[in-house]
Amino acid sequence: MPNPPTSRDVARAAGVSQTTVSYALTGRGTISATTREHVLRVADSLGYRPNLAARSMRTRRSGRLAVVTGATLDNQLRLLAGAGEVAEAAGFAMETHTVDGTVEQRTARVRDLAASRQYEGILTLVPVRPEALTGPAGERDGATPVVAEATFDEQMRTLGDLADASAVAAFVETLVAAGYRRFVHVGGDQQYASARARRDVYLAAVARAAADPATADVVSLGVLGGSWSGDVARRAVAEIPADAPPLAVIAANDYLAAGVVRGAAERGWSVPGDLVVTGWDNFEMGALMMPSLTTVDVDFPEAGRTAMRRLVATVRGEPRPGPGAPIHRVVWRESTGDLAGGASTDAR
C-alpha cells in the first residue's frame, strides 16, 4: 500500500516551498489568496490530509472548527455537508454540535465551546445572543472567533438567504409575459419567514405588473391556504371562482402545488391549460408528477459552503468573502407549459 502524500509532496507538485504549503494549510503567514487556493487545489488533487495532532503540538492550534445547529433534518444535513467540504479544503476538521433549547441555552453552549479552546473557530447556524459572538481572529481578548449566520430560527425554520423569495417574482414576470392575467397564491404557514417572504414577493410582483399600463389588467384573486398541508391546498382550489381560468397559481412549496394539481383535477380543470402551477423546493416527487412540476431548487450545500467560507476568513483574519454562487434556481417543467423550453434559470 503506497504511503500517504506528505506536505513535501504537495510543495513539490505545487512548485512552492514547504513554508508556503504550511501557510496555505494553516491560514497563517503572508501569502496571496491566489497562492493559497493553488496550494489547496494541489493538496486536494494529491489526496493530502494534514496531521492535525502534529500540527496542534507545533503551533498550539487545534485545526478544528465547530458548527452549532439545532435538529439536523435533511436540509440541515445538506447544508452541513457543504460546510464540511470548505472546512476540509482549508485544512480544518469540522465537528457538529446539535444544541436544542432556548436562545439563552444555545448562547451558553456556544460560550462554553469557545471557552474550551478546543476549536479555532465556531459557526452557529441558530440564533444566539450578541455576547456569544467575537470579531475577526477572536479580537475580543483573544477569544475563539464565533460567527453567526442567519440561516435558521429557534425552530429550525429557514432565514436569511435561504428564505429569499426572488424566484416568485421570476414566476410572475414570466407568466405575465406569456399572457396570464389572473393569479392566485397558495401560501404556507405564516410562522415561517420563507412563507411570509414568498407571499410578500408574490403580492409585490402582481402589483408591479398591474401598475404597468401594458399589463394593467393583471390581478390577484387572493392568497389562499396558510399551512404546509397539500390537502389544505387541494381544498383551497374549491374557493377559486369557476370563471377564473386561465389562471396562474403560485404555490409556496411543492406539496402545496401537488394539492393544487389534485384540486384542479377534481374541478375538471387541466394543468397546464386551465391552470398553470408552480411550487418550491424541487422535491423528487415533483419531477415524477403528471404534469411534472415547475419549481425552485434550493442549493443547501452551497449555502453551507458560503457560511463556512466566512468562518474560515474570520479565523484567518481575512476580509469577509462576498456572496457565493446563487442558491435558488428556477426549474421550468410541464406544469407551466412551454414557457422556458424546459430551461433552468438562476434566481437571486
The residue-averaged pLDDT of 280-291 equals: 93
Query: pLDDT tens across 161-189, in order?
Result: 777 889 999 999 999 999 999 999 999 99
State whether residue 227 is helix, strand or coil: coil
Please tell me the predicted confidence (pLDDT) of residue 330: 94
Each residue's pLDDT tens digit, 29-63: 567 778 877 887 888 788 776 655 445 444 446 68
Judge if the upstream peptide bond of residue 319 is cis by omega within 30 degrees of 0.
Answer: no
Task: Say yes or no to pLDDT of 135 above 80.
Answer: no
- Count of all residues that appear for the chain in the document: 348
Q: pLDDT-derived band of residue 106, with 50, 70 and 90 as boundaries?
A: confident
Report whether 345 contacts 329 (CB < 8 A).
Answer: yes
User: Whole-angstrom Cα distance, residue 56 to residue 277?
Assistant: 55
Confidence of residue 25 (pLDDT cuts 50, 70, 90): low
This model's pTM is above 0.75: no
Query: What would the mean pLDDT of 5-30 be, rounded to a whole number?
Result: 76
As a whole number, mean pLDDT of residues 254-276 equals 96
Cα–Cα distance measured from residue 332 to residue 29, given in angstroms and rounded to the nearest whole number: 48
Q: Is 243 exposed, middle or buried (0-12, 13-18, 19+ CB in 10 A)?
A: exposed
User: Cα Rg for the chain, rounded, in angstroms?
Assistant: 24
Residue 316 near residue 61 (C-beta atoms within 8 A): no
Q: Which residue has the higher pLDDT, 309 or 31?
A: 309
Residue carrying the nine cell digits 390577484: 220
Who has greater pLDDT, 31 or 229? 229
| Cross-strand bridge partners of residue 68 | 97, 124
Report the distance separating Cα 27 and Cα 36, nearest Å: 8
Angstrom distance (rounded) from CA 73 to CA 299: 15
Residues 6+ positions from 152 with CB-CB distance below 8 Å: 69, 70, 76, 125, 126, 158, 159, 162
Q: How many CB atoms lie within 10 A of CB 187?
A: 26
Domains of the chain, start order: 7-50 (1.10.260.40), 58-156+301-316 (3.40.50.2300), 160-294+332-346 (3.40.50.2300)
pLDDT value of residue 70: 75
The Cα angle at residue 302 between residues 229 and 194, in degrees rounded to 5: 30
Alpha-carbon gap, residue 106 to 129, rounded angstroms: 9
